[in-house]
Structure 1
Amino acid sequence: MRIVTVGLGLRAVSVLERLQAHMPEAEVVAYVDPTPYQKTTHKNHEALKAYDTLEDMLANEEADLLFVGSPNHLHLDHIRTGLNAGIRIFAEKPVVISMDETMELAQLLSKHGADQVLVGLVLRYAQHARDLRAAQAAGLIGEVVSIEANEHIAPYHGAFFMRDWRRYTKYSGGFMLEKCCHDLDIYNMVTGSRPIRVASFGGRKSFIPDNAPARDVDTQVYHQKESIWEATQDPFLSDGDIVDHQTAILEYESGASMAFHTNMNVPDEQRRFCVMGTKGMAEGDYVRGYLKVTQAHSRNTVVDEDYTKSIDRPGAHYGADDMMCQDLCAYLRGELKSLPVSVVDALEAGVAALALDQARMSKQVVDLTSYWEKFDSFNLRGGTAATNTAEAV
């Protein structure tokens, strides 16, 4: 397995390391990145061949997989180039950064095949999500009625967003898309459907000049996570246009509804969910590491998982990075028929995030009915939605 990569930053090197751990025969042979500051952390970095353009690299290397780890706004061009070259692609999330790009990629996938693009939408691979899906499949929750969920990140991480290139919507697609597309995908999975109407409110209240620490205060916490490209130093004087908090309400095609809240200045982090159904409820937290399922009629606890004791895997995202790479390797070897998440799932989660920002900025409810009709005209699922695939459990 010969891999080439466009983008050689922290995330790319981290995922490639886990891929190679599960597939020793995989070899990263070349890259395109004008500032590959993470190159030397890659285990065979001396042997990596550098190219100026993706086109040159694909024309001159015999490769089996293209890893797209470039900044978000470049993804569509890089995926398009890879598809036209006939190479299988692994793309980091979010796949694209706008509604128009979503439709353009949908058209490309209808031509080349959606199975040509694998995605790094990692949260479905976490044990929490697997066990939640299994509880649903066992009928412990029943029909999903409503969901309450959040993603609250610590100040060091929030400051990173305000210092990094991700602070610009033109590069990242916005905070909801960049950071919360994982979560929105999980709740598409849970409801077995997509948002049909959304509303949202938010802005920036924490990372503003009035809240900057006094000069004699230790501000190291705001610089724990390094930024390289397009970086700025002070998160409180950031020139970015992203928000630092957002509250959203979503109505799904299934009839379920959700209230979702995100904030990037929360000292005691959470990534919590409470899924309430006709037969029971599932409550859990990715950060705090638990899942509890309770029956409605008896109030008995039928699932009680403590992942802080049961999960011991290297990598980020609560062990999900390693689990994702293990599954990807099995899939690429032909040992696994399907993956828990598809590029179509990723695009649909992205549309939800983009619609929420549209609603926030317009101060109106956004109805996605006509958008989904156009999106579905490309027939990307072909009757094999990853959400409903047995292997996804």
Structure 2
Amino acid sequence: MRYGIIGSGMMGIEHILNLQHIEGALVTAVADPHEPSQQAARAAVGDPGLPVFADHREMLESDLCDAVVLATPNMTHGDILLDILAVDRLHALVEKPLCTTMDACRDVVAASKDRSGIVWMGLEYRYKPPIARLIEEVNGGAAGPVKMVAIREHRFPFLQKVDDWNRFNRNSGGTLVEKCCHFFDLMTLIAGAKPVRVMASGAQDLNHLDESYGGETPDIIDNAYVIVEYDNGVRAVLDLCMFAEGSRNEQEISVVGDVGKVEAFVPEGVVRIGRRDRGRDMDEIKVHDPRIAFEGLHEGSSFLEHLDFAQAIRTNTQPLITLEDGMLAVAVGVAGQMSIAEGRAVPMDEVL
């Protein structure tokens, strides 16, 4: 299968490296207006003659690709994805977040209907082996009916991107959209219900305050607590800190039900399962997925997602992660950003 990559910055290169380990996959074209990114793509593919385009529309018209991966800066997703969706035969994998605004999300979801090509939402954290095992255990009843979901991400600050686009809310959608849509997707998947209200507290307390771009100081938050309430009574909370490099794990997830508790730890690769009637006597499982041929930046999750994307294309089956999933994750992030800015709880019907 011939793949085109639109956007060959850090995540575009990550997709190229993953595709090199997918049987039958071949990167045949790249589109990116930034010349150093074009050269980085050629180097990653190992082909100095790889066709590169400054304009993604030229690549879409070239007939060099069967599928495309969209990995451009967040604020460009809406317009570029509409161009991709207009080419009916093309399959597409869209990097998170789907878009930075709800209007743009609604536009691309509407445009994705009744197409020949499959459209897959890139939310690869579902595929991180410890998280996938946690979801499997929860779905199998290890915790009983879910009551509470807690996700902690304690990590390093945002990395530097081309033209520093990720330093400003207007470009990224805000930290809760740009970074945390992954976690809101996981919360909703685990809760098995619709989010109805979001309450958040957050700030920019440390990161990027000494930086200036065109006379502007970055405005992206670097820490937050976000509570999400669901229509089945489940409550979820995100604890985010982006100046917490001194952590054993970057992500820790806890799901509690009326029977017990299931936890996942990444990158430690451990899942713990406990029952209320057993107290501190817990099962600890070291998790690894033997299918992973390339670990990459996300513990092999991008590789596993590409396996399923390719399988869906080959078998002409529906995507396991949809643009609607991506839109709902963005919506919770948008509500969280609103809650912080306005100091109030935000009903989801104000956003959706």
TM score, norm. by length of structure 2: 0.88
Deviation for aligned residue 1:119: 2.2
Question: What's the % identity of the aligned pairs?
Answer: 22
Q: Which residue of structure 1 aligns with residue 285 of structure 2?
A: 305
Matched, 1:326 2:329: no
Q: Which residue of 2 aligns with 1:30?
A: 29
Q: Give the corresponding residue for 1:196.
A: 196
Shift of 1:240: 1.3
Q: Equivalent residue for 2:245?
A: 267
The one-letter code sitting in structure 2 at the alignment partner of 1:263 is C
Cα shift readout 1:163-212 (whole Å, capped 9, x = no counterpart): 93211112111111111111111111110123210011111111265xx6
Gaps of 5+ in 1: 213-231, 373-393
Question: In the alignment, which residue of structure 2 is the partner of 1:349?
Answer: 329
**Displacement after TM superposition at 1:77 (Å):** 1.0
Equivalent pair of 1:288/1:308 in contact (CA under 8 Å)? no
Partner of 1:131: 133
State yes or no: 1:366 paired with 2:340: no
Q: CA offsets, 1:104-154, max 9 Å, x none?
A: 2222233548x7311221100111122112212221111111122211112
Q: Which amino acid aligns with 1:34?
A: P
Moved more, 165-174 or 311-320: 311-320
1:340 shift after superposition: 4.5
Deviation at 1:360, TM superposition (A): 0.8
Residue type of the partner of 2:267?
V
CA distance in 2, matches of 1:77, 1:19: 25
Partner of 1:57: 59
Q: Name the counterpart of 2:5.
A: 5
Q: What corresponds to 2:68 in structure 1?
A: 66
Which structure features the higher share of helix residues?
A: 1
- CA offset at residue 262 of structure 1? 0.7
Aligned residue pairs total 344
- Matching residue of 2:221: 243
Q: Which runs of 5+ in 2 are unaligned?
A: none
Q: Which amino acid letter does the alignment assign opposite residue 72 of structure 2?
A: S
Partner of 1:82: 84
1:151 touches 1:180 (CA, 8 Å); kept in 2?
no
Distance 1:305 1:266, change over 3 A: same
- Residues 94 and 181 of structure 1 are in contact (CA less than 8 Å); yes or no, is this contact kept in structure 2? yes
Q: Secondary structure at the match of 1:21?
A: coil
| Partner SS, residue 249 of structure 1 | strand
Q: How does 1:134-283 map to 2 (within 5 A)?
A: 134-154=136-156, 157-158=157-158, 160=160, 164-207=164-207, 239-269=217-247, 270-283=250-263
Residue identity in the other structure for 1:256: V
Conserved? CA contact 1:248–1:259, under 8 Å: yes
Paired with 1:89 and 1:33, the residues of 2 have a C-alpha distance of 17
Report the counterpart of residue 105 of structure 2 in structure 1.
102
Q: 1:302 offset after TM fit, Å?
A: 6.4
Map Cα deviations across residues 82-108 of structure 1 (whole Å, 9 max, x no partner). 111111111111111111112222222
User: How far did 1:371 drift?
Assistant: 4.7
| Residues 99 and 134 of structure 1: CA distance in aligned 2, closer, same or farther (over 3 Å) | same
CA distance in 2 between partners of 1:265 and 1:165 (Å) = 20
Q: Bigger CA drift: 199-208 or 73-82?
A: 199-208
Q: Distance in 2 between matches of 1:162 and 1:50?
A: 18
Deviation at 1:288, TM superposition (A): 2.9
Q: Structure 1 residues 329, 88: CA separation in 2 closer, same or farther (over 3 Å shift)? A: closer
In the alignment, is the contact (CA less than 8 A) between 2:31 and 2:54 conserved in 1?
yes
Q: Distance in 1 between matches of 2:232 and 2:133?
A: 21
Distance 1:134-1:337 versus aligned 2 partners, 3 A rule: farther
Alignment check: 8 A CA contact 1:19 1:326 kept: no
In 1: Cα distance, 2:221 partner to 2:93 partner = 29
Q: In 1, distance between residues paired with 2:318 and 2:113?
A: 19
